Chain A
Amino acid sequence: NAGVMQNPRHLVRRRGQEARLRCSPMKGHSHVYWYRQLPEEGLKFMVYLQKENIIDESGMPKERFSAEFPKEGPSILRIQQVVRGDSAAYFCASSPGGKAAYEQYFGPGTRLTVT
């Protein structure tokens, strides 16, 4: 059973460009979380999605950031008009529904560098 997959692993963007980060959850998992880790800090929650639904986006900046988890395909975190402050590692985690939902399995992360 393949783990959580994220791509790309590294992404370099110039200021003003768009960044698209993809996350494929573990097989059978229908819950996806996105977290951001700034250098020398812990992770900060951004958004929680289930298939075709955003459950909680309270941690996501109101502008430039959006996320989706379509019925088919990976979850996408999209950052428009990137700025230097967006440079960070972005982690995706997935979990199954029901009682086992307490455990989140993490992908390897995407390191975004904005130049």
Chain B
Amino acid sequence: AQTVTQSQPEMSVQEAETVTLSCTYDTSESDYYLFWYKQPPSRQMILVIRQEAYKQQNATENRFSVNFQKAAKSFSLKISDSQLGDAAMYFCAYRSAGGSNYQLIWGAGTKLIIKP
């Protein structure tokens, strides 16, 4: 069974600086998707970025980028120029590309604190 591990329960960063959130996963599959979701205090789950495992190029969305290391099964999120609005829980999630069930498997989350 697949598992997702986020080893940092909480991270803090100074506003305008860069922070990296860690995520590792375990799977025997070769084709899958990885996601980072943001959950602000409103509790709405917001997709930040996604990565297809078959793509070697790291995904980027504005100030958000990932470092995808397939062999190491690592999928970290880098947030550049941190803003106060980035404060939230961040969840890493995995999804198989094959089969018939596309459920997301989630890490426990990292709480990101932005210091003004």
Contacts and interface: CB of A to CB of B under 8 A. Distances in A.
Contacts of A45: 103-105
Contacts of A44: 106
A11 B108 CA distance: 24
Interface in B1-48: 4, 6, 33, 37, 42-47
Interface size class, chain A: 20 to 34
Contacts of A108: 42-44
Interface in A82-97: 89, 91, 93, 95
A43 B44 CA distance: 12
Interface stretch (A12-20, A22-30, A63-71, A99-107): A99-107
A95 B104 CA distance: 12
A102 B103 CA distance: 9
A42 B35 CA distance: 13
Interface size class, chain B: 20 to 34
By DSSP majority rule, is chain B's interface helix, strand, loop, or mixed? loop
Considering residues A31, A44, A95, which has the most beta carbons from chain B within 10 angstroms of its beta carbon?
A: A44
Contacts, number: 60
Contacts of A109: 43-45
A106 B102 contact: no
A48 B108 CA distance: 21
Given A33-B103, A33-B104, A42-B91, 7 more contacts: A42-B108, A48-B101, A55-B100, A103-B47, A104-B102, A108-B42, A109-B43
Contact of A89 (B43, B47, B102, B105): B43
A56 interface: yes
A106 B45 contact: yes
Nearest to B47: A103
B104 A43 contact: yes
A72 interface: no
